Structure 1
Amino acid sequence: MNDTTATGAVTLVGAGPGDPELLTLKAVRALQAATLVLADDLVGDEVLALASPRARIVHVGKRGGCRSTPQAFIEKLMISAAREGEQVVRLKGGDPFVFGRGGEEVERLRAAGVPVAVVNGITAGLAAVTSLGVPLTHREHAQGVVFVTGHPRRGGEGPDWHSLAQAARQSRLTLVIYMGVRGVAAIQQQLLAALPAETPAAVVQRASLPGQRHAVTTLGELAATIEREQLASPSVIVVGDVLRGVAAVRAQPARTRAG
């Protein structure tokens, strides 16, 4: 561990799916105590408005397919600011420990001797199914849930979709796929190797926000539905029988949530 003593600290804060009313009280307190807020691209202005007026807000956007702030730069900025006595909030969409690189950042901060804490947020996968009025688990339909990324690390192998599909069918699991819209055709093809084409599926774009759009379909029509309805990132794909409660899972066109 680095011998440099940090006089400040870093808190990784989950901003939730976007609706500021879904923030935890602990998240709001952390924002109000911050002197520096490093905000991800998906964090909206209504959430940032809860920060202390004295806090500097720096946007360090990270979104798939777009130009992003290098991760190494963000980590160096957090460390240097904390060593200068700043109370740093690293504000992330959803939950810091669910596909938010929170684990990497905690390891880096601890190695540098910087005090770090984590405040959880509601992850987009949960907000997405809740917005449809269905659960992630159900005693009759789903005994568990799997959160999985559809956007593997560059140069790395992606999930074994065939094995996930087999597990989902055998153990009655709900699959919640983050960052899967761009690769949906390949994902669908591999899931269909073990799951029936009539398996319910849904896509929720911008979950919890006034501009939310969603479409309910089947696994066999998933890619075609996304293309037809022009659904894009940030979106969550949900596959599983818990969706049978959404209008009997008739293929539904994309619908926009009222503001």
Structure 2
Amino acid sequence: MAIEVAIIGGTGVYDPRLFSDLRDELLENEYGTTSVKIGLYKGKEIAFLNRHGAGHSVPPHLVNYRANIKALKDLGVQRIFATAAVGSLKQEFPPGAFVLVDQFLDFTKQRESTFFTGGEKGVIHIDMTEPYCPHLREIIAQAASRKGIEIAKGGVYVCTEGPRFETPAEIRMYRSLGGDLVGMTSVPEVVLAREAEICYATIAMVTNFAAGISPTPLTHTEVLETMAQNASKLQTLLLEVMDNLPQERNCSCGRAISDLGSL
């Protein structure tokens, strides 16, 4: 039986008590090896992928995004719910806020961002008008409303290379370009998911104000503490989504490259 739903996250998101019949699988493909946890939730198999590995041991610029997305594609995944800790560029998104990302600005530098690098697979110029699945975003927004969880229905995610935090000058530039949030993982993950014709949505949790906005120097401890404080709310939201996920996909994500090639 295909595993149609996956959650990508990290510390504070995954809780083994949410699943039964939990198992670990190592999945190999032409891009590398990916560790995935698979469990049952109300009779449905769900895959969970920790993008940073056990103990947060893989920095964002070294995550093997292609191996991860291809592994989920091989499992039969059609929908990915990604979670991300982000810094805020605007006062209206304070620490603890949830945002449904709808656009991104890519400032990564050295990441493999496509499956189609020429040769037998050719080259694909994929449309990114709606990089984050509008159908999944609406499902998440409705679930949040039912649970009384406040969530912003749009935001521009600025993806930086990391692993360092940004300078105040960079943050001023990102704000001037229209950025709302800053993080280090959404790209190329969202691009690869679209190439794989998988619906993809990101629930961003604001953990801090960005450099130059925050009154104190940034620390990774601050990020982890805010994640821990909001973990139960995020889990509640994800489970509400799982409980009300329609059988059919009502979007164009599954046909993203149908006229261009195949993965």
Asked whether the two chains share a fold, i.e. TM above 0.5, the reply is no
The TM-score normalised by the length of structure 2 is 0.31
Structure holding more strand per residue: 2
Higher relative contact order, structure no. (Cα contacts within 8 Å, ≥ 6 residues apart): 2
